[in-house]
């Protein structure tokens, strides 16, 4: 019986192995079989952790915005919950995973398949967020879809800016200091654009 700790370690090992191979040779040039063999697992085991080849890379971007909204504290608006969620995330030191992030950015930038995958992922994020916002009290329609699209775009822009700074050689400490301000600017703009929702959304719980 594999313990949860062992599962987490194996998943990380598979992902690290895949990223190393993709960084060395390019995403399109490496097969799933090669990743599995290099990681010391069978292909079925690999797919048990990562359902697609793209997810070996894009799992790093996986952040469940809909869950953050659905599980927000009573009286807390969706935008406030998301702001606090991301501030909590950037409070963690970035130094230990800078090489992995830099490799991920390079691999994605060089792969048309992964660039398309990022676009699909953002679309799926927005669709899930629409449902969560409607459940939070926002009437279904064009407004909630615009809101979800703007939130996903704002968050992804902050993330991509952070990744690019690291790739360009900025120290993790300096990049971390800037990303907090970027988040506040993004959510300040979102709250100005969708202030009415911020007022009533937090009272619906």
Mean pLDDT across the stretch 164-186? 85
| Number of C-beta neighbours around residue 32 at 10 A | 15
pLDDT for 1 beyond 80: no
What's the pLDDT score for residue 46? 96
The secondary structure of 68-114 as a DSSP string is HHHTPPTT--HHHHHHHHHHHHHTS--GGGHHHHHHHHHHHHT-HHH
Rounded average pLDDT over 1-28: 91
Query: pLDDT tens across 100-148, in order?
Result: 677 788 899 899 999 999 999 999 999 999 999 999 988 899 999 999 9
Q: Label each residue of 34-45 as H, E or C.
A: HHHHHHCCCHHH
The pLDDT score that the predictor gives to residue 166 is 79
What is this structure's pTM? 0.79
What local confidence, expressed as pLDDT, does residue 92 receive? 62
pLDDT at 159: 85
The predicted model gives 3-27 an average pLDDT of 92
177 falls in which pLDDT band (50, 70, 90)? confident
Tell me: pLDDT of 91 over 90.
no
Residue for token digits 């449902």? 131
Token pair, residue 44, equals: 């079925």
Residue 48 to residue 58: CA distance in whole angstroms: 16
Residue showing tokens 């990744």: 163
For residue 73, the number of C-alpha atoms closer than 13 Å in the C-beta half-sphere is: 7
Q: How distant is the alpha carbon of residue 160 from its chain centre? A: 10
The span from the CA of 13 to the CA of 99, in Å, is 15
Residue 68, pLDDT score: 95
State both tokens at 22: 């993709």
CA distance 78 to 157: 19
pLDDT of residue 87: 87
* Residue 148: Cβ-neighbour burial (10 angstroms; 0-12, 13-18, 19+): buried
pLDDT of residue 26: 93
Short-list 180, 146, 187, CA closest to 161: 180
């Amino acid at each position: 019986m594999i313990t949860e700790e062992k599962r987490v370690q194996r998943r990380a090992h598979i992902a690290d192995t895949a990223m190393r191979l993709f960084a060395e040779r390019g995403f399109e040039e490496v097969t799933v079989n090669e990743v599995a063999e290099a990681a010391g697992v069978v292909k079925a085991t690999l797919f048990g952790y990562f359902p697609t080849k793209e997810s070996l890379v894009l799992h790093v971007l996986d952040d469940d915005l809909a869950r953050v909204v659905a599980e927000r504290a009573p009286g807390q608006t969706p935008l406030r919950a998301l702001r606090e969620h991301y501030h909590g995330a950037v409070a963690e030191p970035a130094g230990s995973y800078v090489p992995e992030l830099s490799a991920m950015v390079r691999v994605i930038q060089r792969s048309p398949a992964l660039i398309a995958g990022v676009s699909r992922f953002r679309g799926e994020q927005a669709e899930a967020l629409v449902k969560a916002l409607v459940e939070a009290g926002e009437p279904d329609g064009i407004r909630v879809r615009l809101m979800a699209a703007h939130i996903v775009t704002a968050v992804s822009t902050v993330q991509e800016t952070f990744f690019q700074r690291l790739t360009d050689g900025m120290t993790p400490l300096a990049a971390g200091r800037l990303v907090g301000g970027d988040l506040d600017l993004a959510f300040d703009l979102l709250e100005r654009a969708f202030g009415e929702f911020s007022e009533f959304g937090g009272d619906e719980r």
